[in-house]
Amino acid sequence: MNYPLWVVPHIGGTWVIGIISIIHVFISHFAVGGGIFLAFAEELAYKKNDDRIYDFLKQHSRFFVLLTTVAGAITGVGIWFSVSLVSPDGLASLIQSFTLAWAEEYLFFVAELATAFAYYYTWDRISKTEHLFLARLYMIFSIFTLVIINGILTFMLTPGKWMVNHYWLDGVFNPTYFPSLGIRILIMLAIAGMYALVTSSRIKEPRFRAFMVRYCAKWLLPVFILGPIFMVWFLTQIPQASIDTIFTGIQTSGVGNFSVLARALYLSMVLSGTILLFAYFGPYLNPKAFTFRIAIMFMVCGLAVTGTTEWMREMLRKPYVIYGYLYSNGIHKDDVQTISSQGFLNKGKWASALAQHANSEEERGELIFRYQCLACHTADGYRSMKKLLGARDEEAIENFLQILRKTDPKSNNYTGIMPTLAVNDAELKSLAKYLSTINVEERHHAEQVGAKPDVKENASTVQ
Amino acid sequence: MVSHPVSPQKFAARLNAFLRERLPLEELQALAEKKKVPLHKHSLWYYLGGIAGMLLGVQIVTGLLLMVYYVPEITSAHASILKINTQINFGWFVRSLHSWGANLMILALFVHLFSTYFMKAYRKPRELTWWTGLALMGICLGFGFTGYLLPWDDVSFFATKIGLDVASKVPFAGNLIAYMLRGGDAVSQATISRFFVIHVAILPILLIGLLGGHLLMVQVHNISEPNSFKNLEPAEKTYEKFFPTFFLKDILVWILCLNALFGLTMLSPWSLGPEADPFAPAPIGIKPEWYFLAPFQFLKMMPAMVGPIEGELVGLVLMSLVAVGFVLVPTFDSGASTARSRAATWFGIVVVISFAVLSIWGVLS
């Protein structure tokens, strides 16, 4: 509310961040996991003094350095750029709380880039021992970028002791820090294995190809043995409300309730299981027949699991940017009460400036919609208000908004998934007026077919 | 005193000897190892039959599970599916797998059918493989048609009603067949009972028998080679063993397809419409499942009368001729005449294109 907002029609700003972030996750996990892979594989080549492995690594590292430095950097900056446009209040909060951590992250990132280039351009130019040292150095730097960013990512879900003392190191080493670090490293090893399978499948000489394919397949094993342990550890550390949100829908979910999280969980589990089978029956048991095409399809499946799991982790945090502290629309949880009595539009710096130019009640309503709803909803696309409002008229919308304004979970079913609406009485009316202009067609259609507007305010109708 | 346990190796050897003395294991092993897969640029199509088979397995398992809770009775059918969807643990999941799996299986079968057709795999000595395959396609469409009615929601009710009305237009026996399937003049309890028995008993028996024959034929005649491969010098031909090399790749493809199936199931669970009301007017724009859309659209575009004959009847006759064409193609195109071979290819292309165009038209209209 202190900054201007960026309106992205149809897909919403969240998906702009989402798409860039998911690509970045694929690349950054490869950057770290691949770094570990390069160091270990080079050690293997060094010990066996095997030129074929060296040749393979030269090929593999070319693709690796290009992808991680160029695409990794572009999408990384892309995340900053898009988040600052879509969720400026949330980002400001994270920058202010972790200034030092961000600075260190930047430092390690620069060191990682520098070593990556040094590593790639010194193939055959320095001694094998020195080159192995560079590979290990890159591995360490890349792991440290994870060590820091993992603190900030997990902080958003479980701020832990930081909530009391606001001490940044307590925020970094929060309850889910270590289980999450473990899971991520395991996933990174698996992703590194899958990328290396793609390059290994291009090796011409059949026996060496079979050897490398098998070697790469083994990199998928750790995540399947240790992953479940870290996952259970992780789940014991996250807020009970988030767990409840998953398990509301876990047994009997279908379309139309909170089940989307449960379904994502199934998908992530099923896909993980099939990847293990795939790695066993494909590259491990039948390495000779493991072709480039199969390797690509395999990687697509693997990345799909990673994407699904990341998305699920993001969903667990809803409706917060920082759990229990800052809502996803940039409003502090503790400010809701004050805003409800004093009003929203006269509070934020930018929002109040814009409100002075809002000439009608509808325009004021739209302004509130942009600041408080647009973080998750769009008018007619992703989580479409048009669809969710159904055929409700202004009065029904107003009644519904009254529910969203309550902070007690007993009278507001939505507290677990939506921020509490922070408006005063007059603003609530303006918002209802504006919202009723979005679903005019729906109301018109409902009148034609004679259906009654669905005013049953039940959590089970929300997806 | 502890008695000496039989070592696992010894036990396996004894079991092996026991079975070998009583079963023709050597012959079976020889049969399994005989099959080899030609490697060429069209080898991709060899996976389709296996995919359909794997999906059939999914259908059998999920079908059995659904049968535990489904009640084939007119006042309970819809409620039982609703219960499966909302109250039974993982019921929505099993049902969605069954519905999505059915659609993917029919899609895989269409691709399998047309790919074998264009590779001319129906030619001598594989006519029996081809005919059993066609019959299996018919059976699977039968599964689709009968299974569609069972949830007893409004769309399934009217789609069945229209489907049977069309069937009754077939000259001579049509009326009688439609009457027998319906169990009367209207789609009712009798229809649910009949469709249920056909879906879970009659068609499965036919399917298992015919599928056994189909697979045996493939085993006996080995995998068909397209002409481009057959005409190569023996030294240029490369093969891989079906077992275990190709079979392991088969498993990978199955896993990929299973992932696609699970993905569809999770992201878009199968929904259930409101309960069927036989006395309500048909909902506007009612359409059958996508695999029946092409014939449906074809009949819709026929004029009311073609000369003195009813348009729908002409449409039915034309579609039957296409089916007859597929049945007779092995006798028409035996490989001896290039002109006939080309004619058969063109016939196939025309059918595929019309099927695609009519289906898309059906979706859009």
| pLDDT tens digit sequence for B59-71 | 999 999 999 999 9
Q: What is the mean pLDDT of residues A445-449?
A: 74
- In this complex, the residue of B85, B249, B251 whose CB is nearest that of residue A254 is B85
> Measured between CA atoms, how close is B107 to chain A, in angstroms?
20
> Measured between CA atoms, how close is B85 to chain A, in angstroms?
7
The more confident residue out of A39 and A263 is A39
Structural domain spans, chain A: 12-327, 333-461
Cis peptide, bond prior to residue B151, ω within 30 of zero? no
* pLDDT recorded at residue B302: 87
Q: How far apart are CA A251 and CA A246, in angstroms?
A: 10
Q: Confidence class of residue B2 from pLDDT cuts 50, 70 and 90?
A: low
How much of chain B, in percent, has pLDDT values that exceed 90?
58
Contacts of B244 in chain A (CB under 8 A): 286
Domain B39-275 top-level CATH class: mainly alpha
Tell whether A164 is within 8 A of chain B (Cβ). Answer: no
Q: Confidence class of residue B308 from pLDDT cuts 50, 70 and 90?
A: confident
- In this complex, the residue of A254, A285, A286 whose CB is nearest that of residue B86 is A254
Contacts of A26 (CB under 8 A, 6+ apart): A191, A303, A306, A307
Q: What is the mean pLDDT of residues A412-434?
A: 90
Mutual angle of helices A12-48 and A99-121, in 10-degree steps: 40
Establish how many alpha carbons lie within 13 A of residue A26's alpha carbon, considering only the half-sphere containing its beta carbon.
19
**B14 burial via Cβ count (<10 Å: 0-12, 13-18, 19+):** exposed
- In this complex, the residue of B91, B92, B252 whose CB is nearest that of residue A294 is B252
> Measured between CA atoms, how close is B87 to chain A, in angstroms?
6
Q: Nearest 5 degrees, angle CA A70-CA A76-CA A82?
A: 130
Contacts of B92 in chain A (CB under 8 A): 252-254
Residues 245-264, chain A, touching B (beta carbon < 8 A): 251-255, 263-264
Return the top range by mean pLDDT from A163-177, A443-457, B166-180, B254-268.
Answer: A163-177
The per-residue DSSP string of B157-203 comes to HHHHHHHHHHHTTSTTTHHHHHHHHHTSSSSSHHHHHHHHHIIIIIH
Residue A461 has pLDDT above 50, yes or no: no
Q: For all residues of chain B together, what is the average pLDDT?
A: 90
Q: Give me the interface pTM, i.e. the ipTM.
A: 0.71
Q: Confidence class of residue B3 from pLDDT cuts 50, 70 and 90?
A: low
* pTM attached to this predicted model: 0.80
* pLDDT recorded at residue A457: 41
Contact between chains at A267 and B92 (C-beta distance less than 8 A) = no
> Measured between CA atoms, how close is B88 to chain A, in angstroms?
6
Q: How far apart are CA B160 and CA B194, in angstroms?
A: 13
Q: What is the mean pLDDT of residues A313-342?
A: 90
What residue in A sits closest to B249 (Cα-Cα)? A282
Residue A255 has pLDDT above 80, yes or no: no
Contact between chains at A282 and B252 (C-beta distance less than 8 A) = yes
Position A200, amino acid: S
Establish how many alpha carbons lie within 13 A of residue B238's alpha carbon, considering only the half-sphere containing its beta carbon.
4
> Measured between CA atoms, how close is A250 to chain B, in angstroms?
8
To test the contact with chain B by mutation, choose from A246, A286, A296, A301 the residue with the greatest count of B C-beta atoms within 10 A, namely: A286
Contacts of B54 in chain A (CB under 8 A): none
> Are A306 and A191 within 8 A, CB to CB?
yes
* pLDDT recorded at residue B281: 81
* pLDDT recorded at residue A217: 94
Q: Nearest 5 degrees, angle CA B141-CA B146-CA B149?
A: 130
| pLDDT tens digit sequence for B74-118 | 999 999 999 998 888 888 889 999 999 999 999 999 999 999 999
Q: Confidence class of residue A454 from pLDDT cuts 50, 70 and 90?
A: very low
Contact between chains at A270 and B262 (C-beta distance less than 8 A) = yes
Q: Confidence class of residue A250 from pLDDT cuts 50, 70 and 90?
A: very low
Q: Exposed e or buried b for every residue in A168-191, given b needs 16+ CB within 10 A?
A: bebbbebbbbbbbbbbbbbbbbbb
Location of structure tokens 């879906």: B199
Chain center to CA of B353: 20
Residue A448 has pLDDT above 80, yes or no: no
Q: Which of A327, A304, A462 is nearest to A390 (CA)?
A: A462
User: Residue A327, SS3?
Assistant: strand
To test the contact with chain A by mutation, choose from B69, B89, B92 the residue with the greatest count of A C-beta atoms within 10 A, namely: B92
Position A457, amino acid: E
* pLDDT recorded at residue A459: 37
Contacts of B240 in chain A (CB under 8 A): 289
* pLDDT recorded at residue B5: 67
Contacts of A288 in chain B (CB under 8 A): 245
Say which CATH topology domain A333-461 has. Cytochrome Bc1 Complex; Chain D, domain 2 (1.10.760)
Domain B39-275 identical in fold to domain B287-365: no
> Measured between CA atoms, how close is A97 to chain B, in angstroms?
37
Q: Confidence class of residue A254 from pLDDT cuts 50, 70 and 90?
A: very low
Q: For all residues of chain A together, what is the average pLDDT?
A: 88
* pLDDT recorded at residue A462: 36
Q: Confidence class of residue A105 from pLDDT cuts 50, 70 and 90?
A: very high
| DSSP-derived secondary structure letter, A381 | S
- In this complex, the residue of B92, B248, B256 whose CB is nearest that of residue A297 is B256
Q: What is the mean pLDDT of residues B140-150?
A: 96
Residue B47 has which token pair?
A: 């996976």
Q: What is the CATH number of domain B287-365?
A: 1.10.287
Contacts of B255 in chain A (CB under 8 A): 274, 277-278, 281
**B342 burial via Cβ count (<10 Å: 0-12, 13-18, 19+):** exposed
Weakest-pLDDT range from A25-34, A429-438, B31-40: B31-40
| pLDDT tens digit sequence for A8-65 | 988 988 899 999 999 999 999 999 999 999 999 999 999 999 999 999 999 999 989 9
| pLDDT tens digit sequence for B246-303 | 888 899 899 989 989 998 988 888 888 889 988 888 777 788 889 999 999 999 888 8
* pLDDT recorded at residue B344: 95
How much of chain A, in percent, has pLDDT values that exceed 70?
94
Q: How far apart are CA A112 and CA A104, in angstroms?
A: 12
Q: Confidence class of residue A450 from pLDDT cuts 50, 70 and 90?
A: low
Contact between chains at B259 and A271 (C-beta distance less than 8 A) = yes
Q: What is the mean pLDDT of residues B322-337?
A: 93
Residue A455 has pLDDT above 60, yes or no: no
Q: How far apart are CA B54 and CA A7, in angstroms?
A: 47
Residue A460 has pLDDT above 70, yes or no: no
How much of chain A, in percent, has pLDDT values that exceed 90?
61
Structural domain spans, chain B: 39-275, 287-365
Q: Which helix (H) or strand (E) holds A322?
A: strand A320-322
User: Residue B305, SS3?
Assistant: strand
Residue B4 has pLDDT above 80, yes or no: no
Q: Which helix (H) or strand (E) holds A183?
A: helix A177-200
Q: What is the mean pLDDT of residues A129-146?
A: 96
End-to-end CA distance of chain B: 83
Q: Where are the alpha helices (DSSP H) in A317-449?
A: 336-342, 349-355, 361-372, 385-389, 394-404, 425-438, 440-449
Q: What is the mean pLDDT of residues B105-134?
A: 95
Chain center to CA of A319: 14
Q: What is the mean pLDDT of residues A277-282?
A: 89
Q: How far is it between the farthest Cα atoms of chain A?
A: 82
Q: Confidence class of residue B238 from pLDDT cuts 50, 70 and 90?
A: confident
Q: How far apart are CA A45 and CA A36, in angstroms?
A: 14
Cis peptide, bond prior to residue B244, ω within 30 of zero? yes
* pLDDT recorded at residue B219: 87
Residues 283-322, chain A, touching B (beta carbon < 8 A): 285-286, 288-289, 294, 297-298, 301, 304
